[in-house]
Amino acid sequence: MTLDTAKTALVIIDMQKESQFGIQGQEQIVRQTREVITECRKNNIPIIYTRHINRNDRVGLSKQEPLNHNNEPVFYNSKTDAIDIIDDIQPESHDIVIDKYRWSGFYDTHLDLLLKSMGIKHIILGGVVTDGCVMTSVFDAYFRDYQVNLVKDICGATNEGAHMSAILTMANWIYNIAIFDADEMIKKLSGQTYHYWESTYSDQLQFTPENIRDVFGRLDQKPQTLQSDTEHN
């Protein structure tokens, strides 16, 4: 698989201090995200963070956004530290932070403008939640003709089923997607032999409630060994 690092950006979706979702395996997700960020910095790959924000005064809230007893947003309240990026993966001064008011990182933001101005063709992407802001951002990236490299173990949801079903939905319908684990993405970026899953045709990972774990496991099957390369699109 060809990935021109000069035309690649890492997009981290909503890795914020908001804790009320109860993301499954969050500590490991943060640790692996930090490792991917470190490798991207070594390769001079731009780091872009999104922050979801719900204004405390309720201006611009999504319809039926949950409110607390004070009639303020329950999640990502702009008056709390819930909107801040997690300390272990804090942006550096030259990184880009995109504030958003809907799930997708592309909806009514300048993310697309910035990516195109930098000549980005490939996006490495992870974050939370898998079945919400991550999935909508991935679909919107695809609709804007970016090639998406989803790092599935730096994504997280409130439960295993939600995470797996969202990953498989993206695998089935994002025709140019490649799916990595964090250590395999790091191997690719560092020029080592790596493994990944790549879409070859639509709806190839059909799943049911009974077989979802087995189908999800196909993403980790390694039928071929690939050597990282420096080819450019």
**Per-residue pLDDT at 168 exceeds 80:** yes
Residue 107: helix, strand or coil by DSSP?
coil
Q: Does residue 18 lie within any of the structural domains? A: yes
Interhelix angle 160-173/135-143, rounded to 10 degrees, is 10
The verdict on residue 79 lying in a domain is yes
HSE of 161, CA atoms in CB hemisphere, 13 A:
4
pLDDT band for 159, please (50, 70, 90 cuts).
very high
111 is in which domain, residue-wise?
A: 5-162
Question: Mean pLDDT of all residues in the chain?
Answer: 94
What's the CATH code of the domain at 90? 3.40.50.850
The predicted model gives 76-104 an average pLDDT of 97
Question: Is the confidence at residue 137, as pLDDT, over 50?
Answer: yes
Do the domain assignments include residue 47? yes
Q: Do the beta carbons of residue 177 and residue 198 sit within 8 Å?
A: yes
Domain assignment of residue 138, yes or no = yes
Q: Which two three-digit tokens encode residue 181?
A: 């684990």
Averaged pLDDT for residues 13-30: 92
pLDDT score at 1: 72
**Among 18-27, 50-59, 159-168, 208-217, which is the least confidently predicted range?**
18-27
For residue 180, pLDDT over 60 is answered with yes
Residue scoring higher pLDDT (13 or 228): 13
Amino acid 231: pLDDT: 42
- 80 has a pLDDT exceeding 80: yes
Domain assignment of residue 128, yes or no: yes
Q: Is 168 within the bounds of a domain? A: no
Domain count along the chain? 1
Flag whether 226 is in a domain.
no
Q: What is the pLDDT of residue 227?
A: 60
The confidence band for 232, taking pLDDT boundaries of 50, 70 and 90, is very low
